[in-house]
Chain A
Amino acid sequence: MTSTRSRLSGYAVVLLALALLGGLYTAVAAPKSKAEDPVNQSVEVEAGRQLYLQGCSTCHGLNAQGGAGGPSLIGTGGSAVVFQMESGRMPLARGSAQAPRKPVKYDRTQIDQIAAYVESLGGGPMLPKGKLDDGDLALGGDLFRTNCSSCHNFAGVGGALTRSKYAPSLTPADARVIYSAMQSGPENMPRFSDNQLTPDEKRAIVRYVRYVTHESKDPGGARLGHYGPVPEGLAVFLVGIAVCIVITLWIGARA
């Protein structure tokens, strides 16, 4: 072998080794790209934009900048969209002191698409991926009582606020609606940022709300609407006192 050929074959071996090593690394150990498949994401956003133009732009503006009928959605985040639309509050049927819950007009895919579109406009809070209701039940109860029960009642059946506003009952709300309500602070409800109530704490609260509105068994057997002292007092007066009066009348009557 001449010296030139041996040098060339040396280079070839090195190149082959590098290619082999690089290929193996890419196939096995290279980190997967974090970015969403850009084609899929823009399809979602575009689908959301079409739905938005159809059903929301009349009040919220062609570019979600707001209008006479509704505020700007730039920066409100996808979480607010999930809350408002999955509880049926949006699209709003008419103005009132507070948007009421009503039958939902869109399915979950469509809502997620509109949420993706609104999120793309200016960021804002967005629901995390994964389960939203697998938090610590006891912690959730503690946090619920401190932060939520003053307006929503100890068992989540809601309560009155000023001037025809109200904190609604939490019974019809599912995990996505509860989580997004805390994140987005709809209408007069305060916002609970992820710094204030961490995602774990929010999941704990969601778990507790679902529990107390659907699973908790009431000692005594009758929940009386979970409103507390008012229906209990009513039961005492309408049933208990009435029975006492009947007995009193019987005692005093002629045999």
Chain B
Amino acid sequence: MSDSIRDRLKATPEEPTLTSHGEHPVGDPTVSTHVSYHDDLRSDPRRAKRAEQAVAALFLLSVVGTVGFIATYVWWPFEYGEDGWEFYTPLLGIFFTLALTGIGAGAILWAKTLMVDDETIQERHLLSSSDEDKEGAVAILKEGLEDTGLPRRSLLRNSLLLGGGALAILPLPLVFSLGKFQHKESALAKTSWRKGMRLLDERGRPVKLGDVEVGGVKTVFPDIPGGRRMADSASLLIRMKPEDLHVQPDRKDWVVDGHIVYSIICTHLGCPVKLYEQQTHHLFCPCHQSTFDAADEAKVLFGPAARALPQLPITIDDEGYFVARSDYTEPVGPSYWERKPSYPDKVQ
């Protein structure tokens, strides 16, 4: 560290001197191990020259990257099936990286090797204004207030307060047009299933008794336009032996001869629960491994899910196709803030 800086530090007032030698009591906190590369370079022009060449090489590498990027973009095949098409994006990426990091690395090397790196001191001054300026500002504001006439004219002042206050509370009633006041129930509480809707498979065909064998599963959607894309309504039709299926008395008419339908949206965080094990009757969610027992109302056997999968009541219509008897009787999927703790359990 240079002598001038050391002198400036020593010149601060009220410096406690506890030792007879006048040394600082806690030691000088300045990092004193800084070595200036600059001094070496001044004494060794060959090293400086080589550093300069290295930086130049990096900048030129960036040019290579740019040229390569443009060449790849113009000439490299990118249509599926052409030779080498799969390397189109990696090559673009590699050349782009070269183009950018060439400049970046060159700049860093330049700063490390060739730039001056002496330590300097930044002066810190008080930021607040002078007392005269403060007093002058206050005087201007006071004068302005006098000029409006408010301090003397009480009728003016009081009527202004009344009008301004009224204006301030004008928007308050508009709050009653928002959110919770308008929607009694969250939109998350219902899916698109309604009474009488047929269960359609992924190709839009209705499902009839006999399509699914014992041990089989089928993904089903509601029979409305765009039903295939309604993610909250996606459900799984499972068929098992009727003696394996345990149904509580309330829900005897929700199943048909060993066929049962559950929502596939995991009640934990919403992943699709479609991994069905036909021998154990387990439904498994791949995200956090919640396991549901499809033979026992999809109760949770393992994992972080808090609630069983909702069940869709189904029956057969006159032509033998599966139809829903109503919407799900509880909201599907994960918990949300407005979810009511209990829902009617009967078919509507």
Contact = CB atoms under 8 A, between A and B. Distances in A.
Do A and B actually bind?
yes
Interface of A: 142-143, 146-147, 150-151, 159-163, 165, 167, 185, 187-193, 195-196, 217-221, 250-251, 254-255
B193 to A, nearest CB: 19
Interface secondary structure of A, over-half rule? loop
A133 to B, nearest CB: 20
Given A146-B219, A150-B272, A161-B284, A255 B277 contact: no
A191 B275 contact: no
Interface residues of B, number: 38
Interface stretch (B20-28, B119-127, B206-214): B206-214
A94 B277 CA distance: 21
Interface stretch (B86-94, B133-141, B323-331): B86-94
Given A221-B86, A255-B113, A196 B202 contact: no
B113 A190 contact: no
Contact of A185 (B37, B112, B210, B215): B215
Contact of A188 (B108, B210, B280): B280
A187 to B, nearest CB: 6
Residue from B90, B213, B280 having most chain A Cβ neighbours under 10 A: B213
B284 A191 contact: no
Contacts, number: 87
A162 B277 CA distance: 9
Contacts of A255: 37, 112-113
Contact of B90 (A160, A193, A220, A254): A220
B302 interface: yes
Given A162-B291, A185-B278, A190 B215 contact: yes
Interface in B253-295: 272, 274-280, 282, 284, 286, 289, 291
Contact of B279 (A143, A187, A221): A187
A248 B286 CA distance: 37
Given A185-B216, A254-B35, A162 B280 contact: yes
A219 B86 contact: yes
Contacts of A250: 108
A193 B211 contact: yes
A195 B280 contact: no
A219 B213 contact: no
A192 B202 CA distance: 14
A191 B289 CA distance: 23
